[in-house]
């Protein structure tokens, strides 16, 4: 596509004539039917991108590169300190594996529009399964391996997969987590039943297979024939990715094929400043959007080598783990969550581990998933001596909305800001009444419609919820769910969620869902779950619980049961470690629980007493209950406005 000399020009061009801008970007991809029309406006104000185009993501990520002479180039590097394995696949090898896995699926009746749930650890077969679905025009839905059976069951019931693909186990540091019993439990709970379950048996104890339903994926692959790709319409869903909303039911974010491919390809150059052939490492999990966009589709579309890391930033084996991987695989760009850097910094505050590795090839570090506190930013800048780019996006957008566009022009960094709107995004800060606020004023972060390519067109089987959640609050705008402000130079400062979503170690979770689950306990009369500041994880959930009158149960025992309940229903990944019994919860006179006030109180921040509070003394009770347990206190001021 046309190269813009400055960010300002590129951004202005993208908003002045989105059709021309994105058709130009689309021309960088190989389409089976090239789009002539950029987008089609929908009655709800959103756009369907490249409506007359046809393409296939598996072809674009694999076959296309083989045809273009990259057959022998590395496509996927697998580095697994937890299993002691390290190997890579060339583009030709990965294409062949994916074609065979697609053959296995096709033989089981999977075709265009069928859904497949993938519940897998960070092994190459997870990536292959995604690309195999894409090859057939099937819609994958990857469920993060750290989610408990209940969460998996909810997703299975919503996505209604023909096939579920899983593995015998995942590895958390030194512990094997058997996935198959978790999957079996989820299938017991789910109403919908897949026709087939395919299990990748990793070395070691094999999972038990249920005759008639389950099959050994490796064995199936040995018997299967490779199959070709099926071109699909640009608007054909590539995947559903469930993310936490404000209720117990997660939102099934739908991703189209064409818009997503164009946006990711564009971002690899303009945001991440990559060249084909270079090594891109997103240290995330395939179960999150970062994994979808920047472990799998983005780097492969662009002809980079992508790195799949099965391990942690610390403990596998130490705080030098990331630096080893960068040096060993010659990683040009690392993308991770600030929490990973905080974990490293906690164990190795002076960055001594860095001295053992040659990081001269590292060009930049990108951080997203949660707010990047300036301390973490400065530590990474000082120790890595490369640009550290905080950038902001979400599952819904699928690719960065605010970033320092390093591939167009490296702008100066303002700590606390994720920098500027990425070309394609018209970001506005709106007040309660929907009016645009002036620079420096904090409000709702919104995007003026239509959204650029790549962003969600709808929610799976629930267009009404899509409109209600994102479009109806401020007509003509997409509501991101984040609060923040912009300065005079259009730098965007994201201050945190304005809804009941929290970010724990960069993982998005719903406090509303936790409240719903806790409320089901027979001893619980009322409950509020809030996200409080945590120096390692950014936020952790805290439950404040009122027990039912006359329910005689030891307080500590009840708290323990509630903690166990969230672990069992959502998973350890929720890091729900504290449920505190209180006599009552602070409310407005109309009965609304004052969650934000409690959060500010727990974080040790200033809060003004709402004039509508029914009894201010309740806040003192909450304060004392938390102080007695030493829970809370911010690790640094949350608010960054100077
Ligand atoms: N399968 C099973 N269990 C999992 C899991 C998985 N895929 N992922 C996490 N868990 C479990 C962990 O074992 C842990 O369980 P425990 O309570 O029994 O110890 C719990 O969930 C919390 O896990 P985690 O958040 O990974 O905590 P940790 O203490 O092991 O590690 C960090 C802390 C900060 C190092 C880690 O959270 C991290 O690397 N975060 C980066 C996150 C990230 O990349 N996010 C993606 C957005 S870009
Ligand atoms: P997810 O959908 O899981 O990617 O989570 C998206 C949410 O994470 C956003 O809505 C923000 O609340 C938060 N987030 C992601 N990146 C950033 C960032 N760079 N700064 C602040 N918050 C972020």
Ligand 2 center–CA 550 separation, angstroms: 42
State yes or no: pLDDT of 66 exceeds 70: yes
The tokens of 348 are what? 């190795």
β strands within 535-577, DSSP E: 538-547
Report residue 54: phi and psi, to 5°: -135, 140
Tell whether 330 is covered by a domain: no
Sign, CA torsion 400/229/235/461: negative
Is 368 touching ligand 2 by the criterion CB < 6 Å?
A: yes
Tell whether 178 is covered by a domain: yes
State yes or no: pLDDT of 447 exceeds 60: yes
Ligand 2 center–CA 494 separation, angstroms: 9
State yes or no: pLDDT of 195 exceeds 50: yes
* DSSP state at residue 587: B
Is 337 touching ligand 1 by the criterion CB < 6 Å?
A: yes
Ligand 2 center–CA 444 separation, angstroms: 14
Q: Are 562 and 545 in contact (CB under 8 A)?
A: yes
Please count the structural domains in the chain. 2
From residue 229, give the alpha-carbon distance in Å to each of 54, 144, 337, 386.
12, 26, 34, 40
Which of 168, 288, 312, 577 maximizes ligand 1 atoms within 8 Å of its Cβ, making it the mutation to test the pocket? 312
What is the pLDDT at residue 540?
Answer: 96
Ligand 1 center–CA 573 separation, angstroms: 6
Please name which ligand lies nearest the alpha carbon of 502. Answer: 2
Q: Which residue, by CA, sits nearest to atom 9 of ligand 2?
A: 394
Question: Domain check: are 459 and 538 in the same one?
Answer: no
Report residue 363: phi and psi, to 5°: -105, -35
What is the pLDDT at residue 351?
Answer: 98
Question: Domain check: are 471 and 533 in the same one?
Answer: no
Q: Which atom of ligand 1 is nearest to the CA of 144?
A: 7
Tell whether 326 is covered by a domain: no
Tell whether 323 is covered by a domain: no
* DSSP state at residue 202: -
Average pLDDT for residues 62-67, to the nearest whole number? 98
Pairing mode of beta strands 196-200, 163-167: parallel
Please name which ligand lies nearest the alpha carbon of 394. Answer: 2
- Per-residue pLDDT band for 590 (boundaries 50, 70, 90) equals confident
- Per-residue pLDDT band for 608 (boundaries 50, 70, 90) equals confident
Q: Which atom of ligand 2 is nearest to the CA of 372?
A: 20
What is the per-residue burial (b if ≥16 Cβ within 10 Å, else e) of 419-429? bbbbbbbbbbb
Is 418 touching ligand 2 by the criterion CB < 6 Å?
A: yes
Which of 290, 337, 377, 503 maximizes ligand 2 atoms within 8 Å of its Cβ, making it the mutation to test the pocket? 503
Question: Domain check: are 427 and 518 in the same one?
Answer: no
Angle separating helix axes 374-384 and 338-347, nearest 10 degrees: 70
Is 12 touching ligand 1 by the criterion CB < 6 Å?
A: no
Is 284 touching ligand 1 by the criterion CB < 6 Å?
A: yes
Is 243 touching ligand 2 by the criterion CB < 6 Å?
A: yes
Q: Which residue, by CA, sits nearest to atom 3 of ligand 2?
A: 508
β strands within 173-291, DSSP E: 175-178, 196-200, 214-216, 232-233, 237-243, 251-256, 279-282
- Per residue in 199-240, pLDDT tens? 999 999 999 999 999 999 999 999 999 999 999 999 999 999
- Average pLDDT of the chain? 95
Residues 481 and 243: their CA atoms lie apart, in Å, by 13
Q: Which residue, by CA, sits nearest to atom 23 of ligand 2?
A: 370
Q: Considering 484, 517, 540, which residue would you say is the last residue of a domain?
A: 484
State yes or no: pLDDT of 89 exceeds 50: yes
Please name which ligand lies nearest the alpha carbon of 456. Answer: 2
The tokens of 573 are what? 């990944």
Is 64 touching ligand 2 by the criterion CB < 6 Å?
A: no
Question: Domain check: are 413 and 526 in the same one?
Answer: no
Residues 430 and 438: their CA atoms lie apart, in Å, by 9
- Per-residue pLDDT band for 611 (boundaries 50, 70, 90) equals confident
Is 340 touching ligand 1 by the criterion CB < 6 Å?
A: yes
Please name which ligand lies nearest the alpha carbon of 447. Answer: 2
Coil, strand or helix at 458: coil
- Where residue 372 falls (left for φ over 0; alpha for ψ -120 to 50; beta otherwise) is beta
Average pLDDT for residues 127-153, to the nearest whole number? 98
Ligand 1 center–CA 183 separation, angstroms: 19
- Per-residue pLDDT band for 639 (boundaries 50, 70, 90) equals very low
Tell whether 362 is covered by a domain: no
Is 245 touching ligand 2 by the criterion CB < 6 Å?
A: no
Question: Domain check: are 511 and 480 in the same one?
Answer: no
CATH of the domain at 57: 3.40.50.12780
The closest of 430, 427, 436 to 490, measured between CA atoms, is 427
Ligand 2 center–CA 401 separation, angstroms: 10
Ligand 2 center–CA 569 separation, angstroms: 24
Question: Domain check: are 591 and 626 in the same one?
Answer: yes
Who's near 162: CB < 8 A, 6+ residues apart? Answer: 108, 109, 110, 114, 115, 116, 138, 194, 195, 196
Question: Domain check: are 480 and 516 in the same one?
Answer: no
Q: Are 121 and 145 in contact (CB under 8 A)?
A: yes
Q: What is the pTM of this model?
A: 0.96
The tokens of 71 are what? 């057959």
Is 324 touching ligand 1 by the criterion CB < 6 Å?
A: no
Q: Are 246 and 512 in contact (CB under 8 A)?
A: yes
State yes or no: pLDDT of 390 exceeds 90: yes
Ligand 2 center–CA 174 separation, angstroms: 29
State yes or no: pLDDT of 580 exceeds 60: yes
What is the pLDDT at residue 638?
Answer: 38
What is the pLDDT at residue 612?
Answer: 81
Question: Domain check: are 586 and 465 in the same one?
Answer: no
Average pLDDT for residues 4-22, to the nearest whole number? 97
Is 371 touching ligand 2 by the criterion CB < 6 Å?
A: yes
Question: Domain check: are 480 and 510 in the same one?
Answer: no
Please name which ligand lies nearest the alpha carbon of 315. Answer: 1
Is 293 touching ligand 1 by the criterion CB < 6 Å?
A: no
The tokens of 486 are what? 């912009």
Question: Domain check: are 509 and 436 in the same one?
Answer: no
Ligand 2 center–CA 230 separation, angstroms: 34
Tell whether 153 is covered by a domain: yes
Q: Which atom of ligand 1 is nearest to the CA of 567?
A: 17
Q: Considering 484, 518, 537, which residue would you say is the last residue of a domain?
A: 484
Is 288 touching ligand 1 by the criterion CB < 6 Å?
A: yes
State yes or no: pLDDT of 634 exceeds 60: no
Ligand 2 center–CA 370 separation, angstroms: 5
The neighbour count for residue 481, using CB atoms within 10 Å, is 21
- Per residue in 318-374, pLDDT tens? 999 999 999 999 999 999 999 999 999 999 999 999 999 999 999 999 999 999 999
Q: Considering 484, 514, 537, which residue would you say is the last residue of a domain?
A: 484
Which of 340, 376, 390, 508 maximizes ligand 1 atoms within 8 Å of its Cβ, making it the mutation to test the pocket? 340
Percent of the chain with pLDDT over 90: 92
For 625, the domain range is 505-639
What is the pLDDT at residue 529?
Answer: 97
Tell whether 340 is covered by a domain: no
Distance of CA 512 to the CA centre of its chain: 19
Please name which ligand lies nearest the alpha carbon of 505. Answer: 1
What is the pLDDT at residue 642?
Answer: 23
What is the per-residue burial (b if ≥16 Cβ within 10 Å, else e) of 294-312? bbbbbbbbbbbbbbbbbbb
Q: Which atom of ligand 2 is nearest to the CA of 289?
A: 4
State yes or no: pLDDT of 640 exceeds 70: no
Question: Domain check: are 555 and 591 in the same one?
Answer: yes
What is the pLDDT at residue 613?
Answer: 83
Is 389 touching ligand 2 by the criterion CB < 6 Å?
A: no
Q: Which atom of ligand 1 is nearest to the CA of 172?
A: 13
CATH of the domain at 617: 3.30.300.30
Question: Domain check: are 452 and 563 in the same one?
Answer: no
Residues 614 and 57: their CA atoms lie apart, in Å, by 56
Residues 185 and 193: their CA atoms lie apart, in Å, by 12
Tell whether 375 is covered by a domain: no
Q: Which residue, by CA, sits nearest to atom 15 of ligand 2?
A: 369
**DSSP assignment of 442-456:** -EEEEEESSP-TTS-
């Amino acid at each position: 596509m046309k190269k813009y000399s400055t960010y300002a020009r590129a951004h202005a061009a993208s908003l002045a004539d989105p059709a021309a801008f994105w058709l130009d970007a689309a021309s960088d991809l190989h389409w089976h039917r090239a789009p002539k029309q950029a987008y089609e406006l929908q009655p709800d104000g959103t756009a369907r991108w490249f409506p007359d185009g046809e393409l296939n993501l598996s072809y674009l990520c694999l076959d296309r590169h083989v045809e273009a002479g990259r057959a022998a180039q590395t496509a996927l590097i697998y580095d697994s300190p937890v299993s002691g394995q390290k190997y890579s696949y060339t583009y030709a090898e990965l294409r062949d594996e994916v074609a065979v896995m697609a053959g296995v699926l096709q033989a089981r009746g999977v075709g265009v529009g069928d859904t497949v749930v993938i519940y897998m650890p960070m092994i190459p077969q997870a990536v292959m399964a995604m690309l195999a679905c894409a090859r057939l025009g099937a819609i994958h839905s990857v469920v993060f391996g750290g989610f408990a059976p209940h969460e998996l069951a909810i997703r299975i019931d919503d996505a209604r997969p023909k096939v579920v693909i899983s593995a015998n186990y995942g590895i958390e540091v030194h512990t094997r987590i058997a996935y198959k019993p978790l999957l079996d439990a989820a299938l017991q709970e789910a109403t919908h039943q897949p026709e087939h379950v395919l299990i990748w048996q990793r070395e070691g104890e094999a999972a038990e297979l249920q005759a008639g339903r389950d099959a050994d994926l490796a064995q199936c692959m040995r018997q299967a024939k490779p199959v070709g790709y099926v071109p699909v319409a640009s608007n054909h869903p590539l995947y559903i990715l469930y993310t936490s909303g404000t209720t117990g039911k997660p939102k099934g974010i739908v991703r189209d094929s064409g818009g997503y491919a164009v946006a990711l390809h564009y971002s690899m150059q303009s945001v991440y400043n990559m060249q084909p052939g270079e090594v891109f490492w997103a240290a995330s999990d395939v179960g999150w959007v970062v994994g979808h966009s920047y472990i799998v589709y983005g780097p492969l579309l662009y002809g980079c080598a992508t790195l799949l890391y099965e391990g942690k930033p610390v403990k596998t084996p130490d705080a030098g783990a990331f630096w080893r991987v960068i040096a060993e695989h010659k990683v040009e760009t690392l993308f991770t969550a600030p929490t990973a850097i905080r974990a490293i910094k906690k164990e190795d505050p002076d960055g001594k581990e860095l001295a053992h590795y040659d990081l001269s090839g590292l060009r930049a570090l990108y951080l997203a998933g949660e707010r990047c506190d300036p301390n973490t930013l400065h530590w990474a800048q000082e120790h890595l001596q490369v640009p550290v780019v905080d950038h902001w996006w979400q599952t819904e957008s699928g690719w960065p909305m605010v970033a320092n566009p390093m591939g167009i022009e490296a702008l100066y960094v303002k700590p606390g800001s994720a920098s500027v709107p990425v070309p394609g995004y018209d970001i506005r800060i709106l007040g309660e009444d929907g009016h645009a606020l002036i620079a420096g004023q904090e409000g709702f972060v919104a995007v003026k419609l239509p959204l650029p390519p790549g962003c969600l067109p709808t929610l799976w089987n629930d267009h009404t919820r899509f409109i209600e959640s994102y479009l109806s609050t401020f007509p003509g705008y997409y509501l991101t769910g984040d609060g923040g402000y912009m300065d005079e130079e259009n730098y965007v400062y994201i201050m945190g969620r304005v809804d009941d979503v929290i970010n724990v170690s960069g993982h998005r979770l719903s406090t509303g869902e936790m409240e719903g689950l806790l409320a089901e306990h027979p001893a619980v009369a009322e409950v509020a779950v809030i996200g409080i500041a945590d120096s390692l994880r950014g936020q952790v959930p805290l439950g404040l619980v009122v027990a039912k009158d006359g329910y005689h149960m030891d307080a500590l025992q009840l708290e323990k049961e509630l903690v166990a309940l969230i672990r069992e229903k959502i998973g350890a990944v929720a890091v729900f470690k504290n449920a505190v019994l209180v006599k009552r919860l602070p409310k407005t006179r109309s009965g609304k629980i004052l969650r934000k006030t409690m959060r500010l109180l727990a974080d040790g921040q200033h809060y003004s007493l709402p004039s509508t509070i029914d009894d201010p003394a309740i806040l003192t009770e909450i304060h004392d209950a938390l102080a007695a347990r030493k829970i809370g206190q911010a690790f640094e001021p949350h608010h960054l406005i100077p």
